[in-house]
Structure 1
Amino acid sequence: MCGRYALTATPEDILEFLSVIQIDDFPKRYNIAPTQPILLIIAGEKAAPGSNLPERRAMLARWGFLPGWVKDPKEFPLLINARAETAVGKASFRAAMRHRRVLIPASGFYEWHRPPKDKAKETGEKSQAYWIRPKRGGIVAFAGLMETWSSADGSEMDTAAILTTSANSMMSAIHDRMPVVIDQQDFERWLDCKTQEPRDIEDLLKPAQADFFEAIPVSDLVNKVSNMGPDLQEPVSVAVKPVKPTPPSPGDDQLSLF
């Protein structure tokens, strides 16, 4: 899952990385939380100057996906993530997977390693927050979905969710899910909802390479939405680092005579 992330890049860096035609100035954001406005990159309707490819536009949407058929948002769960493996078959995300795929630029995301309740009770181990960022630095683009929800009075709200997939070997020591990262060379395929159906871009919905991200333990300041400064990403020491569970060997569940 992805419940918090950050975008601290400059508008100029985003323009260059995502080939957006225009983007307004905005502050660095170190603790982006659900229901807040987030930056999306979408495919435009016309071709970019000097190119046959559609221009890309930036827009804002609420982080918290609302399908068009929802009547009362207060009675609908907050969908901040969509499972990549099942999104195209889910009523909530089916139309967006076919027609409204977007890119969500980020500098990295936060995840929590939460020990099993019985272990935490026995050892006193607490949840540990991690700042997950690309080792090479720079910006990443999460795979996203958007939907414009219309209320009964005719008002509209753009909403979005981040697609997640199974964790890679690095992330699995912390959590079993992670955001889907779209590589720069695949931006056009992902955004092209006219010729690229969900089955055509299924190969993009995979975990990032194990050495793509690095995990930095940080304090629990990120737990509070009101904390929004760069100190959220300051490293802290941890008593015990998370260890990826080791699957049982064949026969481990059988009694031994020796």
Structure 2
Amino acid sequence: MCGRMAVTLPHDAMAQIFAAAPANALPRVPNYNVCPTNDVHIVTGGDDQGQRRLGAMRWGFVPHWYKKPGDGPLLINARAETIAEKPAFRSAAQERRGIIVATGFYEWTKDEDGGRDPWYITRRDGAPLAFAAVWQDWQHPDTGDRLRSCAVVTCAANRPMQVIHHRMPVVLEPKDWPLWLGEAGKGAATLMVPAAEDALTWHRVSRTVNSNRAEGAELIAPV
């Protein structure tokens, strides 16, 4: 599962790391509390000239049959095990894959009293997280307004991560980016697996982040 994330990289750094041309309007950074329905940074595959794009999309996939964005469940995650079968994601998994860029993400455990304790999870090597994602170009049936939206692809958690949660985002390694983006032929389904057991690290953070209105670098400070 992935329900909240943080992004601290400057736009030019993201564009350079992913060899992508940045859009004019990108979500603000740093943002230590990116929530569902917020815009996220997403890299999409090469255009006719082979140029990747770094753009913004709503986090919360809107299937083409929705009459409005809130017409059904908020689809922030897409399960790797069923993504090729679910009507909402089937076409996107084949044709519209992207990479959501993040610095870290949050997960929660419960204490003995039922309180929710947040954990901040990053790559152990300090590199940005590249989440496998699928996206949709949705059009309002009456007004014609368009909205691009996306979902994080998730898989079963690797062994260390199971201490916190039984699911985790699919974290792509740089060598796999071309295949996931459709630049290197077929076989992207083979990438939807848990991250290596030594890939991620985490620490407890303040329950302040339990509020979707919380802001500031202190949200990711260890406690």
Q: TM-score range by the shorter chain?
A: over 0.9
Aligned to 1:13, the other structure's residue is in SS state helix
TM-score by length of 1: 0.81
CA displacement 1:115-172 (0-9 Å, x = unmatched): 5xxxx4xxx2522110001111121110001001111211111111000000011110
| Cα distance in 1 for residues equivalent to 2:138 and 2:23 | 23
C-alpha deviation, 1:75, in angstroms: 2.9
Say how many residue pairs are matched: 220
Distance 1:95 1:222, change over 3 A: same
Greater shift, 124-133 or 178-187, is seen at 124-133
Distance 1:41 1:112, change over 3 A: same
- Give the counterpart letter for 2:69 in structure 1: P
Distance 1:125 1:34, change over 3 A: closer
| Cα distance in 1 for residues equivalent to 2:151 and 2:220 | 24
| Cα distance in 2 for residues equivalent to 1:177 and 1:129 | 15
User: Do the aligned residues in 1 keep the contact of 2:4 with 2:105 (CA within 8 Å)?
Assistant: yes
| Cα distance in 2 for residues equivalent to 1:194 and 1:143 | 15
Query: Which residue is equivalent to 2:29?
Result: 27
C-alpha deviation, 1:202, in angstroms: 1.7
Alignment of 1:40-79 (within 5 A): 40-47=42-49, 54-79=50-75
| Cα distance in 2 for residues equivalent to 1:36 and 1:77 | 16
| Cα distance in 1 for residues equivalent to 2:61 and 2:68 | 13
TM-score by length of 2: 0.93
User: Do the aligned residues in 2 keep the contact of 1:147 with 1:158 (CA within 8 Å)?
Assistant: yes
- Which of 69, 82, 102 is matched with 2:78 structurally? 82
Query: Which residue is equivalent to 2:119?
Result: 130
| Cα distance in 1 for residues equivalent to 2:70 and 2:222 | 38
Identity %: 35
- Which of 132, 135, 140 is matched with 2:129 structurally? 140
* Cα RMSD, aligned residues only: 1.6
User: Do the aligned residues in 2 keep the contact of 1:219 with 1:235 (CA within 8 Å)?
Assistant: yes
Query: Which residue is equivalent to 1:214?
Result: 201
| Cα distance in 2 for residues equivalent to 1:209 and 1:112 | 21
- Which of 98, 102, 106 is matched with 1:102 structurally? 98
User: Do the aligned residues in 1 keep the contact of 2:78 with 2:153 (CA within 8 Å)?
Assistant: yes
Is 1:149–2:132 an aligned residue pair?
no
User: Do the aligned residues in 1 keep the contact of 2:23 with 2:54 (CA within 8 Å)?
Assistant: yes
User: Do the aligned residues in 1 keep the contact of 2:178 with 2:184 (CA within 8 Å)?
Assistant: no
Distance 1:73 1:16, change over 3 A: closer
- Give the counterpart letter for 1:174 in structure 2: I
Is 1:224–2:220 an aligned residue pair?
no
Q: Which runs of 5+ in 2 are unaligned?
A: none
Greater shift, 13-22 or 76-85, is seen at 13-22
Whichever structure has more helix as a proportion of its residues is 1
| Cα distance in 1 for residues equivalent to 2:35 and 2:74 | 12
Aligned to 1:14, the other structure's residue is in SS state helix
Query: Which residue is equivalent to 1:11?
Result: 11
C-alpha deviation, 1:70, in angstroms: 1.7
